[in-house]
Amino acid sequence: MIKKHSLIILFVFFVISRVSFAESKIPASPRSRRAIQRVKPELEKVFKEKNLNYGSPIFIRIFKESMELEIWVKSENTFTLFKTYEICTYGSGTLGPKTIQGDGKAPEGFYFVTPQRLNPVSNFHLSFNLGYPNKYDRTHKRTGGALMVHGSCVSIGCYAMTNTGIEEIYAIAYAAFRNGQSFFRVHIFPFKMNKSNMEKHKQSKWIEFWNNLKEGYDFFEKNKIPPNVEVVNRKYIFETSE
């Protein structure tokens, strides 16, 4: 009996240690802790109402033209839309990818965010770095850096949210990381890439690039699982993610 109790104690200690270690790897600050504490109760309530688990893996999509940021949450083997947030601004307000430092444009493409890219002491309340330039951007010699999703509702090339919005997004991301997600994907599109919008923008100089983005958009629309994204021959390719 004593041995059994000892094993239980060791197991509990192991679980607590793992959680503590995971938390220590995620950037935090008094500001981010207060924000999470402020929004967490309502988030947990809404997650429960939607039959989703707070802390489950997440996926984000951004649409420039409609100025929307979507958070999708994993439920069993697919992702379910949790909430759509309005984007205040994204710099110049023009469609098309960021190509050069100082052009005032926000990126389009396929990015991912690790715990280390959270910034709990941002000059714009709270933020996370999108990881621009990614491999595709570097292959096309695009320049710039420090492209974020952040609060304060002002931007010269980042995706700016309200402070309330970024607090919720940050809290959801933090919970997913704390629960073991090693990174989450962020897919950024100029618009919802349906047939009518593609026809509307077919004369744009970016249409070839957007046709490539549409492959990733269609993959998720069909499967409700974000694809694994690679770059081959200067183009994005999409495969089933693990």
**Does residue 5 have an active-site annotation?**
no
Candidate list 5, 88, 153, 158, residue with the active-site label: 158
Q: Are strands 58-63 and 184-189 parallel, antiparallel or unpaired?
A: parallel
Does a cis peptide bond (omega within 30 degrees of 0) precede residue 120?
Answer: no
Task: Give the residue carrying structure tokens 């307000």.
Answer: 93
d(CA 79, CA 48): 15
Candidate list 150, 153, 187, 201, residue with the active-site label: 150
Instruction: Please spell the DSSP secondary structure of 60-92, one letter per residue.
Output: EEEETTTTEEEEEEEETTEEEEEEEEE--B-TT
d(CA 56, CA 51): 11
How many residues belong to the chain?
A: 242
Specify the DSSP element, H or E, that contains 231: strand 228-232
127: its two tokens: 């933020």
**Does residue 158 have an active-site annotation?**
yes
Answer yes or no: are the C-beta atoms of 161 and 87 closer than 8 Å.
yes
3-state DSSP assignment of residue 203: coil
Q: Catalytic positions, please?
A: 150, 158
